[in-house]
A and B are shown apart, each in its own frame.
Chain A
């Protein structure tokens, strides 16, 4: 039915070529900015214009990175932080969605909880981190709880909002067949919101990283946050910078993994955003 009027033509080929070219140009400029920035940083550092004690320099950071790779310590730190983050956003997302489902199923409960959720949402959760460490204890457990705390409330609020905003008439359609609340949930509310739930997961990855790094700053013996805060305390800026770069790469990889899952889902379900 669709696209039957679309044919290939010379004009179309030209259009495709042009589109490809502009995409390539943008990627080229992006790469140039990154490489140019690194080269400029290195050159300025070598010439002594900027203070390497304060900002380090790319070659030193790279050397340090190689050294950490060789003795394998970097992988230990990455493993700890990534594991904490994965636990953090998985628990935060799943628990948050479950709570949102409970709120969706009871209007009264949702109304009762509303002010508490609003206050909790407005509160910067990092302020709770020291208390959590004291209550739950240091180590992976405490850090994961901090990560969960940060993502949980926003997950509850946004998932709940998505759930109650599903078209009222579609709910009525299911009810006209005699659907129970559970059937409405599994046949309409959840499937119509899969895209939104994937988006929530994406946001939670970022939030969990914040929680993990904050947790590791407070008390930890390993992890990327530990590397960064340790480097800062002993004024080894190359260590700090390396930690940040590795952290950025880890976060990016995780984000892209979810992106791919999302693409896979849309390709499989044959629906569009």
Chain B
């Protein structure tokens, strides 16, 4: 297991009292897989990721993470005053790990993913989809083993979103990373993930777990997945799961 969460609980304390956000959450990410966490908004998905990245501590339970974590956010958070390359370098800069090999690796990533010509441009000169790709490469530059994707496509328009999720899926697979994708978008999560955990409303707990098995000829990508015969079946299944909480 790359990541294993056991009996995880998290409460926040406000002036009104205790707010239970996570209750007995059990999750596991296997090597070579993409795990999806689907839940209604406000169900504590971000809290889960914040615990995994050690930004906050759980109230109780165990967190086992075997590997270095890279975090990709909803928005790209590129710094406007830095060039694309300097934006990508920021993680290494902070960790004081700028070596010739690291720079070489960044150059390779820039070339492979079509950003080489833009390396000296500024973020505002790039489209939303490209900016998101830069954000992913910024995360990859520090060489994480596991990627946490926090609704990374939700700030994009629908068409870009389909293309960027295809893009980013390929990058993750090509670089051989494991990933957790957090989202409330049912079709997106089916098209990208191998396993899906559905969270309940607050206090969140894992209500259901599905292995996604799609009949696909050739290589799997999110766009191809959407055309698989089982896609609609999973969509209906997850839709019903979420609907229960909407009531």
Contacts and interface: CB of A to CB of B under 8 A. Distances in A.
B142 A170 contact: no
A191 B124 CA distance: 16
A188 interface: yes
A176 interface: yes
Contacts of B142: 177
A46 interface: no
Identify the interface centre among A2, A167, A170, A272: most chain B CB within 10 Å of its CB. Answer: A170
Interface stretch (B11-19, B87-95, B233-241): B87-95
Interface string A168-200: 011011111111000100011001101000000
A4 B121 CA distance: 16
Contact of B81 (A1, A169, A174, A269): A269
A174 B94 contact: yes
A271 interface: yes
A270 interface: yes
B77 interface: yes
B64 interface: no
A179 B93 CA distance: 9
Q: Is the interface of B mostly helix, strand, loop or mixed?
A: loop
Contact of A179 (B70, B74, B94): B94
B175 interface: no
A100 B93 CA distance: 25
B122 A271 contact: yes
A183 B90 CA distance: 10
A272 B122 CA distance: 11
9 contacts: A1-B126, A2-B125, A170-B79, A172-B55, A173-B73, A187-B90, A187-B94, A191-B81, A269-B81
Interface of A: 1-2, 167, 169-170, 172-179, 183, 187-188, 191-192, 194, 269-272
**What 7 pairs across the A-B complex have the smallest Cβ distances?**
A176-B71, A177-B91, A173-B77, A177-B94, A179-B94, A170-B77, A1-B125
Given A1-B126, A172-B73, 14 more contacts: A1-B127, A169-B75, A169-B77, A170-B77, A174-B90, A176-B55, A176-B71, A177-B90, A177-B142, A178-B94, A187-B90, A188-B79, A191-B79, A271-B124
